[in-house]
Amino acid sequence: MSMTVNEVTAATRSVTERDRAQVRFWLYAICVLVFAMVIVGGATRLTDSGLSITEWQPLLGAIPPLNAQDWQLAFEKYKLIPEYQLINKGMSLAEFKFIYWWEWAHRFLGRFVGLAFFVPMVWFWATGKLEKGIRGKLVFLLLLGGLQGFIGWWMVSSGLAERVDVSQYRLAVHLTLANLIFAWCLWIARGLAPHSDEHASERVRSFAPLVVFALFVQIFWGALVAGMDAGLAFNDWPLMDGAVLPGGLWVQEPFWINLFENPKMVQFTHRLFAYLLVILIVLQMVVALGSDSGNTHKRRTVLLVGFALLQASFGVITLVMQVPLFWGLVHQGGATLLLGAAIAHWRGIHGEYRRL
């Protein structure tokens, strides 16, 4: 029995929807892996493990030390850098193995994410499951992943010669780029998902990218705080060093360098911007609730406020407890999840499902 035109169209549409769903869930899985990279990277930083592997071997580096001789060789290489000589001199091989495994896991997971992205992308492309509108976006995402690997080594190399830790600037670039990769992958995935056809007002539309931009700025400053261990001092809240406006914020010259290299100012800036970010997200909700936007968009702004307040709470707990590993990772992971919620909202107000 021959199929009617409508039946052929329906069959073709179901194939397209199924292909889109497969690609979408693959990209969601990549987002989960990138999120895991952010968490493991945070643990690597908080355990001071990032300089334990002193070489960059993109292929052979995937193999960890396999015997006592290999472990001793890796340890001897670590003993040559300033971190060991000035901070960890006299550490045991067992202590070295602890920090080594964190850094190795971080690098191994990075390699795994690269394979988990590249191989399925080639398969989806070869089987015609990738629509033309997202092919260039996926190639760009792949290039960002390769760049991130280079940035990671660029960051580590800053702590191998003259410093006892990595540059806070390079750490901030590394973490910000990781979140950019996460955000871009989620943006593409959400573009393949059905969206509400409800109207979003222009005012609501204008807030969404502003919130995302502000989150990236806050993530960058949070990395500066981590890179300088600025969260280990001035652990009172809501005051800072016993004052609303603490002294010692502008002690370095030129004055603007305090924003990046004065630990007290870096932490104060991170705190201040957190308050401004929460206000911005609350304001977005107020505008959305008072507009003619659809209820779906309004609900997302309410959820964003809840996420923002929860993340702010994580930040306070992390600070007053002097950055224990668990809460430090909760705070760092919370920032990425909040960014993901903001990206989902921004992508959702476009309502573009058919146009890719």
Last residue of a domain, one of 142, 165, 193: 193
Among the three residues 176, 193, 210, which one is the final residue of a domain in this structure? 193
- Single-letter amino acid code for the residue at 132: K
Give yes or no: residues 107 and 242 share one domain. Answer: no
Q: Say if residue 68 is in the same domain as residue 93.
A: yes
The DSSP call for residue 230 is: G
Model pLDDT, residue 10: 41
SS3 assignment, position 240: strand
pLDDT value at position 351?
Answer: 62
Q: Identify the bridge partners of residue 243 per DSSP, sorted by sequence position.
A: 240
Paired residues of 240 in beta bridges: 243
Q: How far, in Å, CA of 174 to CA of 178, rounded?
A: 6
Q: Do 187 and 291 sit in the same domain of this protein?
A: no
Q: Are residues 166 and 215 in the same domain?
A: no
CA distance to 60, 92, 152, 176, 332, per residue, from 170 (Å): 24, 29, 8, 10, 17
pLDDT of 44 reads: 94
**Beta-carbon contacts of residue 314 (< 8 Å; ≥ 6 apart):** 327, 330, 331, 334
Mean pLDDT, contiguous 10-residue spans, the chain (356 residues): 43 64 96 97 93 85 90 94 92 95 95 96 93 92 95 92 90 97 96 79 90 97 95 93 93 94 96 97 94 86 96 97 96 97 91 49
Same domain, 204 and 188: no
From 156, 176, 193, the end of a domain falls on 193
Quote the pLDDT of residue 11.
40
**The overall pTM is greater than 0.75:** yes
Residues 50 and 97 in one domain: yes
**What is the per-residue pLDDT for 123?**
95
Give yes or no: residues 218 and 342 share one domain.
Answer: yes
pLDDT given for residue 9 in this prediction: 42
Domains contained in the chain, number: 2
- Is the distance from CB of 211 to CB of 284 less than 8 angstroms? yes
pLDDT at position 196 is 67
> Which pLDDT value is given to residue 202?
87
Q: Are residues 189 and 57 in the same domain?
A: yes
Please report the pLDDT score of residue 112 as a whole number: 96
One domain, residues 104 and 83: yes
At residue 113, the pLDDT reads 96
CB atoms inside a 10 Å sphere around CB 31: 21
Q: Are residues 297 and 152 part of one domain?
A: no
Identify whether 82 is preceded by a cis peptide bond (ω within 30 of 0). no
136 with 232, same domain: the answer is no
Q: What is the pLDDT of residue 157?
A: 92
Residues of the domain holding 132: 1-193
Same structural domain, 135 and 267 = no
